[in-house]
Amino acid sequence: MRSGTVPALIALFFLTAQAHAGEIEPRSYINTPVGINFLLAGFSYSDGGLSTVSSSPIKDANLKIHSGILAYARTLDVLGKSGKLDVILPYSDLSGSAMVAGQSVERHVSGMNDPRCRFSVNFYGAPALTLPEFANYQQDLIIGASVQVSAPLGQYDNDKLVNLGNNRWFVKPDIGISKAWGALVMELSTGVFFFSNNTDYFGGHTLEQDPVSSTQLHITYNFSRGIWIAVSGTYDYGGRTTVDGVRSDDLQDNSRVGITLALPVNRNNSVKLFASNGVHTSIGTDFFMAGIIWQFRWGQDL
């Protein structure tokens, strides 16, 4: 069984109404033996600005974020197809400064981000296999889908423009295709974020946001002994907001690139290193991010 069967889960924080862009998760649609449990713990550091339109009260923002993550995942047999359920609990410490209405202000906040839960299933090319059966499996073409839900349980102050939580739900259905040519794998996925309204936005206003489409492309090369490296790109579009019925000129048109390296430690443990950076940002977070994730797996007599 290869190392790194759970996605990188590297997007560990949200900032404002325009967040959720630039998440990079290679190998989301691969086959994994059923009945395996994964525990992940990680840390990331990000540094950058907050890109806004000219009408935004926030100018020249510079934010530094230290984030930790704890996650659990389990692979499933879903009517004979391989599936997975994962739960993600992130925590962040944010500090930075910006110009608001012509005055310099600082923000330092620590707390939980909005937690997430995701269910995924590969409905073509990835049958549910036990660990002994998986030894003879070779990937060709995999087609899968997932749905992710985020609950508004993270830190949120309604008198602040920058928070760790968003005070609203989102649901993201996603579909992906993964094709292998020997050790080289190409994965393409696309999904859409659908947001509920934030009825307590910045002093009691109502924030609405259009859906955001998110497309990812990953090229992964699998070395021997479970080592793999992925080069990734993402593109996000949409998400124009409305505050108290007034339409904003804040359409997202953002792209990022990233790299992920997985290194097995032993049969049960592995480490992932990752980094990403913005290529083009119209609205949202324009930042550099890097981090590390430790993964422990058990089950099926591993």
For 232-282, the pLDDT digits (tens) are: 999 999 989 899 999 988 888 999 999 999 999 999 999 999 999 989 887
Give the start-to-end residue ranges of the domains of the chain. 37-298
What is the structure's pLDDT at 4? 42
pLDDT at residue 26 greater than cutoff 50:
yes
Supply the pLDDT for residue 20.
46
Distance set, CA 187 to CA 29, 40, 46, 214, 220 (Å): 8, 23, 26, 14, 8
Give me 170's structure tokens: 């989102």
- Per-residue DSSP letters for the chain? --S--S---------STT-S-----TT-S----TT-EEEEEEEEEEEEEEE--TT-SEEEEEEEEEEEEEEEEEEEEETTEEEEEEEEEEEEEEEEEEEETTEEEEEEEEEEPPPEEEEEEEEES-B---HHHHTT----EEEEEEEEEE-S-S---TT-S--SS-SS-EEEEEEEEEEEETTEEEEEEEEEEEE--EEEETTTEEEEE--EEEEEEEEEEE-GGG-EEEEEEEEEEE--EEETTEEPS--EEEEEEEEEEEEE-SSSEEEEEEEEEEEE-SSEEEEEEEEEEEEEEE-TT-
Which residues, at least 6 apart from 262, have a Cβ–Cβ distance to it below 8 Å?
Answer: 3, 4, 226, 227, 228, 229, 270, 271, 272
Please check the confidence at residue 289 and state whether its pLDDT lies above 60. yes
Who contacts 52 (Cβ-Cβ below 8 Å, separation ≥6)? Answer: 58, 59, 61, 250, 283
List CB contacts of 163: < 8 A, sequence separation 6 or more: 14, 15, 16, 109, 154, 155, 156, 157
Q: Does 128 have pLDDT greater than 80?
A: yes
Give the CATH fold of the 37-298 domain: Lipocalin (2.40.128)
Burial of 170 (0-12, 13-18, 19+ CB in 10 A): buried
Average of per-residue pLDDT values in the chain: 87
Highest mean predicted confidence (pLDDT) among 41-55, 57-71, 76-90, 153-167: 76-90
* pLDDT of the residue at 155: 94
Band of residue 19 on the pLDDT scale cut at 50, 70, 90: very low
- The answer on pLDDT for 52 being more than 80 is no
Looking at per-residue pLDDT, the higher value among 250 and 121 belongs to 121
**What's the rounded mean pLDDT across residues 66-70?**
93
DSSP states along 187-200: EEEEEEEEE--EEE
Task: Dihedral sign for Cα 267, 134, 74, 168, please.
Answer: positive
pLDDT at residue 107, rounded to an integer:
85
CA 302/CA 208 separation, integer angstroms: 47
Q: Would you state the pLDDT for residue 184?
A: 98
Q: What is the pLDDT of residue 293?
A: 95
Cα separation, 196 vs 213, whole angstroms: 16
